[in-house]
Amino acid sequence: MKRIFFAALASLLFVVGCQRVPLTGRNQLMLVGSKELLPMSFQSYRQLLDTSQVVGTGPNVESVRRVGQKIQRAVEDYLRDNNQLSLVEGFQWEYNVINSPQINAFCMPGGKVAFYTGILPICQNDEGIAVVMGHEIAHAIANHGAERMSQGLLSQGVLTAGQIGLGVAMSNKPQQTQQIYNNLFGLAAPAAATIGYILPNSRNQESEADHLGLIFMAKAGYDPRESVAFWQRMAQASSGQRPPEFLSTHPAETTRIRNLNRLIPKAMEYYPGQGGRR
Ligand SMILES: [Zn+2]
């Protein structure tokens, strides 16, 4: 009886209330279990691939997969060493390149990564790809999607005080729940090719993704100092035109570069050959 009680309590605590982000230790609101989102995320990703021009082979695909898998291994090593491997439970890592001029890339909940060919000339090389990859994977590791879903459900009254879980939200207000999900991860007007994270991440989540991303790339063997040059190229590529979706959701370049310079010394501790803690 007691065991059942504790099991129930543990699963409740997993879903409810607060969770801590690895490395930054920030407390985040979690009213839906991040794992509850995975089936929906996988379905959206599949739909995206089905309606896009996926690049099958070639050097770009090889680079994106090579960098992705190295960062994935670094992340898993870090989480294993820190007893946080449960954060990637149920992940089905996948890396694809989509033929599109959009300057964009993302990692959906559960490790589903897509790079648009439009961002690759700005990345230039594996180091540049690692900057983007580290940042996007960090969003998934820090469960930013589930956090924003939780905020949406609460602010729109789909979940009221004391209620938790995607299942409860679905039975309360199925249409609104689906709408909130679609706004965050859904496919919007495939013809206009605006796909992926539609609502901007919060400023908090962005700097957190930079913070984690630098450490992940460093741990995977990519020089985190390269991030500054990458974001300068990104700013240049987007000047004079409507900012690409990837950039429009991100902090102003000067603020970002100032933050990166503050974070780089910490990330260097994880970079092999720097007397780090690898
Ligand atoms: Zn971001």
Residue 269 CB-half CA count within 13 A: 4
pLDDT 10s digits, 180-235: 888 777 654 333 334 344 455 677 888 899 999 999 999 999 999 999 999 889 88
Nearest by Cα to 115 from 165, 166, 52, 42: 52
pLDDT at residue number 97: 97
The radius of gyration of the chain's CA atoms, rounded to the nearest angstrom, is 19
CA of 2 to the centre of ligand 1 (A): 43
CA of 116 to the centre of ligand 1 (A): 15
CA of 6 to the centre of ligand 1 (A): 37
Find the Cα–Cα–Cα–Cα dihedral 45, 48, 49, 51, rounded to 10°. 160
Contact 176, 157 (CB under 8 A): no
Contact 158, 17 (CB under 8 A): no
Q: Say if 275 falls within a structural domain.
A: no
Q: Say if 10 falls within a structural domain.
A: no
pLDDT 10s digits, 52-82: 999 999 999 999 999 999 999 999 999 999 9
CA of 127 to the centre of ligand 1 (A): 17
pLDDT 10s digits, 188-199: 433 333 434 445
CA of 185 to the centre of ligand 1 (A): 13
3-state secondary structure of 163: coil
Q: Say if 170 falls within a structural domain.
A: yes
Q: What is the mean pLDDT of the chain?
A: 83
CA of 162 to the centre of ligand 1 (A): 30
For CA atoms 175, 157, 204, 28, give the dihedral sign. negative
Sorting pLDDT into bands at 50, 70 and 90, what band is 33? confident
CA of 264 to the centre of ligand 1 (A): 17
CA of 82 to the centre of ligand 1 (A): 24
Q: Say if 58 falls within a structural domain.
A: yes
Q: What is the largest CA-CA distance in the chain?
A: 66
CA of 247 to the centre of ligand 1 (A): 8
Q: Say if 66 falls within a structural domain.
A: yes
Number of domains comprising the chain? 1
Range of the domain at 147: 20-268
